[in-house]
Amino acid sequence: MEALSPSLKTRESELVEQARAGCKEAFYRLVQPCERALFATAMGILKNEADAEEAAQEAVLMAFTNIHRFRAECKFSTWIIQICINEARLKIRKARKHLYESIDEPENGEDGDYFPRDFADWREIPSEGLQRKELREALQHAVASLPEKYREVLILRDIQHLSIEETAQALGIGRGNVKTRLLRARLQLRDALAPGIDGNWTLGRPAHAKVRAW
């Protein structure tokens, strides 16, 4: 587990103590640094701004109500992200239930190996390329197209930069599972983007023409 520095830890436990006593101001000071992470996590799962905001807000209110359950075994941010993931998942389940009634989502095999599909040489895309709208959109589409459980891990690890341990805690899964899912997410993302890489990410050309359909 990534340890908080002693002074930060004291600060956090003081605020938790005050929040437990019902101090909303103290609670908000705990929440504020993770606000963006909460929204991003919910957005990554729900792919819709309004739903993501609602899930993030509900997670925060739920955290406030349940602050007495917070044990300092993990950081406050990991704990509240965990609640937010559950809220977002709940929303997805509700929406699906509404759409398909009793059809349960089939559990995808977790451990089947994923083999890369594209072996073409990769021309590196510098991060400055992200200023181009088509690349940002392609990236967003590729992430959105990942199955939920891979997307969750990718968002926590590669976008929010949580450690393996924190990701495991937030998702309530083992470290081994985090690594397996992350591997799959990354390889699939690469495959989804690879066909657009071989020189087709230049301006002025239809960037999506060579990108695999999502």
Partner 1 sequence: MRVIEISCLEVWKEISNYIDNDVEPELRARMEAHFKACAHCTAILDGTRNVVKLVGDGMEYEAPEGFSRRLYDRIKDK
Among 13, 18, 57, 145, binds partner 1 (CB under 8 A): 57
Distance in Å, CB of 94 to partner 1, minimum = 20
Instruction: Choose the stretch contacting partner 1; rule: CB under 8 A; options: 69-77, 86-94, 96-104, 125-133.
Output: 125-133
Does position 88 interact with partner 1 (CB under 8 A)? The reply is: no
Site stretch for partner 1 (CB under 8 A), options 67-75, 76-84, 99-107, 138-146: 138-146
Per CB under 8 A, 179 contacts partner 1: yes
Long-range contacts of residues 117-122, Cβ cutoff 8 Å, at least 24 apart: 117/191, 117/194, 118/190, 118/191, 118/194, 118/195, 120/194, 120/195, 120/197, 120/198, 121/198, 122/194, 122/197
> Hey, what are 135's tokens?
């690349």
Residue whose CB is less far from partner 1, 179 or 208: 179
Nearest 5°: CA angle at 155, between 151 and 158? 120
- Which region, judged by CB under 8 A, interacts with partner 1, from 4-12, 76-84, 99-107, 135-143? 135-143
Question: What residues contact 9, with CB distance under 8 A and at least 6 apart?
Answer: 3, 72
From 189, 196, 207, 211, residue interacting with partner 1 (rule: CB under 8 A): 189
* Near partner 1 by CB under 8 A: residue from 15, 143, 168, 171: 143
Place of tokens 């990942």: 146
Could you count the other beta carbons within 10 Å of the beta carbon of residue 178?
Answer: 24
Q: With binding defined as CB under 8 A, does residue 205 bind partner 1?
A: no
Q: How far apart are CA 166 and CA 157, in angstroms?
A: 9
Q: Of 113, 126, 134, which Cα lies nearest the Cα of 187?
A: 113
Site string for partner 1, 91-120 (x = CB under 8 A): ----------------------xxxx-xxx
Torsion angle of the four alpha carbons 150, 200, 211, 145, in this order, in degrees rounded to the nearest 10: 30
26 binds partner 1 (CB under 8 A): no
d(CA 58, CA 8): 26
Q: Residues in the site for partner 1, rule: CB under 8 A?
A: 24, 27-28, 31-32, 35-36, 39-40, 43-44, 49, 52-53, 56-57, 60-61, 64-65, 113-116, 118-122, 124-125, 127, 129-130, 135-136, 139-140, 143, 154, 158-159, 161, 164, 179, 182-183, 186-187, 189-190, 193-194, 197
